[in-house]
Amino acid sequence: MEYRTLGQSGLKVSTLCFGAMTFGEPNDKSFMHKLGCDEATSHRLLDQGLEGGINFIDTADVYGEDGLSERVIGAWFEKVKKRNDVVLATKVRFRMGAGPNGTGASRYRIMRAAEDSLRRLKTDRIDLYQIHMQDSETPEEETLRALDDLVRQGKVLYLGASNYAAYRLVGSLWTSKTEHLSRFVSLQMQYSLVAREIEREHVPVCRDYGLGILPWSPLAGGFLSGKYNRDDAMKDDTRLGKQASAWVDLKNEKNWRVLECVRAVAQEMNATPASVALAWLMQRPHVTSVIFGARTAEQLEGNLAAAKLTLGAADVGKLDAASQLDLGYPYAFIQRVASRW
Q: What is the mean pLDDT of residues 314-323?
A: 97
CB atoms under 10 Å from CB of 255, counted, come to 19
Length of the chain counted residue by residue: 341
123: left (phi over 0), alpha (psi -120 to 50) or beta: beta
Residue spans of alpha helices (H) in 196-238: 202-209
**Cβ(90)–Cβ(117) below 8 Å:** yes
CA–CA separation, 69 and 83 (whole Å): 16
Backbone angles phi, psi at 187, to 5 degrees: -135, 120
Is the pLDDT at 102 greater than 80, yes or no?
yes
Q: Is the dihedral of CA 139, 145, 148, 153 positive or negative?
A: negative
CA–CA separation, 75 and 89 (whole Å): 16
Q: What is the pLDDT of residue 89?
A: 98
Q: What is the mean pLDDT of residues 120-142?
A: 98
One-character DSSP codes across 13-43? EESEEEE-TTBS---TT-TTSS--B-HHHHH
- Say which CATH number the domain at 8 has: 3.20.20.100
Is the pLDDT at 80 greater than 80, yes or no?
yes
Q: What is the pLDDT of residue 105?
A: 98
Three-state secondary structure call for residue 140: helix
Q: Which residues are catalytic?
A: 63
Q: Whole-number mean pLDDT of the chain?
A: 93
| Across 130-134, 182-186, 232-236, least confident range | 232-236
Tens of pLDDT, residues 20-78: 999 987 655 555 556 789 999 999 999 999 999 999 999 999 999 899 999 999 999 99
Three-state secondary structure call for residue 162: strand
Q: Is the dihedral of CA 47, 51, 52, 55 positive or negative?
A: positive
Q: What is the pLDDT of residue 36?
A: 85
CA–CA separation, 221 and 274 (whole Å): 11
Q: What is the pLDDT of residue 5?
A: 98
| Better-scored residue on pLDDT, 80 or 230 | 80
Q: What is the pLDDT of residue 235?
A: 57
CA–CA separation, 3 and 67 (whole Å): 29
Tens of pLDDT, residues 169-227: 999 999 999 999 999 999 999 999 999 999 999 999 999 999 999 999 999 999 999 98
**Cβ(197)–Cβ(220) below 8 Å:** no
What is the domain range of residue 278? 3-340
Is the pLDDT at 233 greater than 80, yes or no?
no
Maximum distance among all Cα pairs of the chain, rounded to whole angstroms:
63
CA–CA separation, 174 and 156 (whole Å): 21
Tens of pLDDT, residues 240-288: 545 556 667 787 999 999 999 999 999 999 999 999 999 999 999 999 9
Q: What is the mean pLDDT of residues 236-243?
A: 55
* Counted domains in the chain: 1
Is the pLDDT at 110 greater than 70, yes or no?
yes
**Cβ(135)–Cβ(106) below 8 Å:** yes
Q: What is the pLDDT of residue 217?
A: 96
For the chain, the distance separating the N- and C-terminal CA atoms, rounded to the nearest angstrom, is 44
Percent above pLDDT 90 for the chain: 86
**Cβ(213)–Cβ(186) below 8 Å:** yes
Is the pLDDT at 237 greater than 60, yes or no?
no
